[in-house]
Chain A
């Protein structure tokens, strides 16, 4: 079976204005299509900066990256049509209903009419929120908001999905439902790039991982292979072995 490359990163650098050291320092990696890729690292390691460059939120200081063969520096608008982003924050409008929020986001991706409505209700049904479609988001629990937040990122059926801590602060049931839904999406061909501090969740979800620290990738590969290579019991132990126990701020 031949695999195609969804994301190709070559010598990517980002140095913020006024900072002497780069936040991301000459990193290179490849992500195969239809994989679930975990970008793991302690606080301030460079995860968010890397994802922000790939999504076009910030410009790279050097290097190049291609998503689905499209360059982030010259073909960003085309890339934006193909990607979905689920930020760590609940990026929803609290005074709008779940349906109104999703309709707005769908419209922003060019979706409209009955097709969009059907699409929204199908997703709401999957995450168990169909009955709450017309309730204001401000009345929802944390887990419910997280589920709506996820739908907002996948409504337009992106080929690549970026997830930043998608299950933070939610109960086990909601987390289980979200991860199951992510698996379903992945089976349909969506490439997922995922960041998290929850090592157990990453170990179960990701087909590939990269551990980033101080702006550099210090290890990458299949989780089970990496765990075995470093004689660790699990991903968390591997993570601590590679990044150390020193507190990060």
Chain B
């Protein structure tokens, strides 16, 4: 027992005197829990807490157009911008990422609704013998009452269903009200005397208009297109642990001391490490993409489509690999023990992945978190892959992201170099 207590006391003393270790043990999980809770909470919250950018084109001057617009505003879930665009322009704005949803209310839908309700009421009255069909206005209204709705290509089905249901709720009010008004006119009586449990027609339809132009783009709306690049990036960044570990091990066992007494600078030694680990990253990326292209289809999933530009894919993979190795070198340089570097490396990559939209798409995150996404190298990498895979992006399209990743790499290597230099003084 004495040995046991002595060991416990010794371990606790060591831990309490290791400030870096304490920070990793307590501050990092707290940060992780906070960020993850915020991010994961977002998709489950009521949509009223979100402000979804919506492009509204209201060509109707009647009640229905006004009611839909009012309903959208009252729902408080949309950030509405009104334009007079045509379908193509709306599609372009959504594909360009400016809006998540587009709604086009056609001309004269209010008149069409009235006509359809009149037809419905006349039919119902005839069925119960209250009217002579010959005297009733039973002009057949063949045209469909369609409100066009467009979603961003990456929008998930469940999210679409929720939005459509919310919109349907707002239009059903005006449908019911219109029916009540016509019944009242027919019977010259109060609305309340009409049974509201009477089944009514479903007059207003929300017709989803595809934002996809080519059959190739149609393949992009699946989990494979998101998850393969997302987890490839995550895996590439996870080399931080082994890279940082190797730097620390060399420092601990004296190999690094020996290396520093050899001809050639620190940069030469680091360049060798960067090249090796970058090679690993590229192999990792290649294998992951091959899994998406060749293995997943055998498991009943769609095949990964990697776009039209192999050069763009290569540049994205290369810049992501460099960012990951740079980060690994920085972590290995700054931290003094393997435990510290591996814990920090793992947790920080998880945080950066969460912020970068690896698990939850960035657009459903709250503004306060989305702001930080812009600073995650994993977000830059994922955005670049999405540009190539989802939008058929070219080298030019991904250059801004690649430059950000390369800047991150340069910063990490520069910081490591100066940190190391300062340590030898």
Interface set of A (CB-CB < 8 Å, partner B): 17, 55-59, 77, 80-81, 83, 85, 87-93, 105, 108-110, 152-153, 162
Collect the chain B residues with CB atoms within 8 Å of residue A58's CB. 424-425
Are B424's CB and A59's CB within 8 A?
A: yes
**Is the beta-carbon distance between A110 and B263 smaller than 8 angstroms?**
yes
Query: Please, how many angstroms separate the alpha-carbon atoms of A80 and B268 in the complex?
Result: 15
How distant is the Cα of A80 from the Cα of B264 in the complex, in angstroms? 9
Is A108 within 8 A of B257, CB to CB?
no
**CB of A163 to closest CB in B, whole Å:** 12
- Extra A-B contacts (4), CB below 8 Å, given A77-B263, A83-B261, A108-B263: A57-B260, A58-B425, A88-B254, A89-B257
Contacts of A108 in B (CB 8 A): 259, 262-264
A87-B254, A92-B255 given; A55·B261 CB < 8 A:
yes
**Contact code string B263-297 (vs A, CB < 8 Å = 1, else 0):** 11000000000000000000000000000000000
Q: B252's closest neighbor in chain A, by CB?
A: A89
Q: Which residues of B are in contact with A by a Cβ distance under 8 Å?
A: 253-255, 257-264, 424-425
Task: Give the complex CA separation of A103 and B296 in angstroms.
Answer: 43
Q: DSSP class of A's interface residues: helix, strand, loop or mixed?
A: loop
Write the nearest CB–CB distance from A112 to chain B, whole angstroms.
Answer: 14
Contact of B255 among A59, A80, A81, A91 (CB under 8 A): A91
CB-CB under 8 A from A56, the residues of chain B are 260-261
Residue of A nearest to B423 (CB): A58
CB within 8 A of B425: which of A17, A87, A92?
A17
Q: Which of B261, B263, B264 contacts A85 (CB 8 A)?
A: B261
| Docked-complex contact A89 and B263, CB < 8 angstroms | no
CB distance from B242 to the nearest CB of A (A): 13
Q: Which single residue of chain A is at the shortest CB-CB distance from B256?
A: A91
Residues in B neighbouring A91, C-beta threshold 8 A: 253-255, 257-258
What CA separation (Å) do A80 and B262 show in the bound complex?
6
> What residue in chain A is nearest B264 (Cβ atoms)?
A108
Asked if B255 and A85 make an inter-chain contact with CB atoms under 8 angstroms apart, the answer reads no
* B254 pairs with A109, CB closer than 8 A: no
Q: Which residues on A sit within 8 Å (CB–CB) of B262?
A: 80, 105, 108-109
A56 to B424, CA, bound (A): 9
Q: How far is the CB of A136 from chain B (nearest CB, A)?
A: 15
CB distance from A50 to the nearest CB of B (A): 14
Is A87 a contact of B258 with CB atoms below 8 Å?
yes
CB distance from B47 to the nearest CB of A (A): 54
Q: Across the A-B interface, give the 8 residue pairs with the lowest CB-CB distance, nearest first.
A: A89-B254, A91-B254, A87-B254, A85-B261, A80-B263, A91-B258, A91-B255, A55-B261
Residues B261 and A57 in contact, CB atoms below 8 Å apart: yes
Whether A87 touches B257, Cβ cut-off 8 Å, given contacts A17-B425, A58-B424, A59-B424, is yes
A90 to B258, CA, bound (A): 10
Residues on B with beta carbons closer than 8 Å to the beta carbon of A55: 261
Minimum distance in angstroms from A160 CB to a CB of chain B: 11
When chains A and B are docked, how far (Å) is the Cα of A148 from the Cα of B254? 14
* Cα distance A145–B258 in the bound complex, in angstroms: 15
B residues less than 8 Å from A93 (CB atoms): 255
Across the two chains, which residue of chain B brings its CB closest to A80?
Answer: B263
Listed residue (B259, B262, B264) with the most chain A CB atoms within 10 angstroms of its CB: B262
> Bound state CA distance, A203 and B254, in angstroms?
27
Given contacts A17-B425, A77-B263, A80-B263, contact A57 B257 (CB under 8 A): yes
- Given known A81-B263, A91-B258, A108-B259, contact A59–B425 (CB-CB < 8 A): yes
Indicate whether A57 sits within 8 Å of B424 (C-beta atoms), given known contacts A87-B257, A91-B254.
yes
A80 touches B253 (CB 8 A): no
> Once bound together, how far apart are the Cα atoms of A83 and B261, in whole Å?
8
CB B155 to nearest CB in A, in angstroms, measures 49
- Which of A80, A85, A109 is close to B257, meaning CB atoms less than 8 Å apart? A85
